[in-house]
Amino acid sequence: MSAECSSYLNADKVLVSGFSCPRAGGDARAVFCCGFQDVKYCCDDPHSFFPYEHSYMWWLSVGALVGLSIAAVVLFAFIITVCVLCYLFISTKPRSKLDTGLSLQVA
């Protein structure tokens, strides 16, 4: 079993000629054409070819980093708010017990 990786333009817009998988001197199990439209290689997973450019994945990574950063800031603000509220609750409690109006006497 073998696969043909068609020729493509890499990220630098240089034409890379097509090749067959597995490559000579490569892993014999790498019989599938994998990668992206602008980066192709042989691998052993038939579902590892993505029909878009490799740079697309960087935008997904940047988007994930922005989303995680926003989530971290929100979580940090929540933790700070809880700490401040706990401090205010503890610091504003009366130091002594309230007088109930009843005096206790030993019989």
> Mind listing the pLDDT tens digit for each residue in 56-91?
666 667 778 888 999 999 999 999 999 999 999 988
Residue 65: predicted pLDDT: 84
Instruction: Tell me the residue type at 29.
Output: R
Cα–Cα distance for residue pair 54/51, rounded to 1 Å: 9
Token pair recorded at residue 43: 């691998």
> Mind listing the pLDDT tens digit for each residue in 27-50?
888 889 888 888 888 988 887 777
Cα–Cα distance for residue pair 36/11, rounded to 1 Å: 11
Residue 75: predicted pLDDT: 97
Q: Would you say residue 95 has pLDDT above 90?
A: no
Contact 19, 8 (CB under 8 A): no
CB atoms within 10 A of CB 30: 17
Cα–Cα distance for residue pair 76/70, rounded to 1 Å: 10
Residue indicated by tokens 């401040």: 84
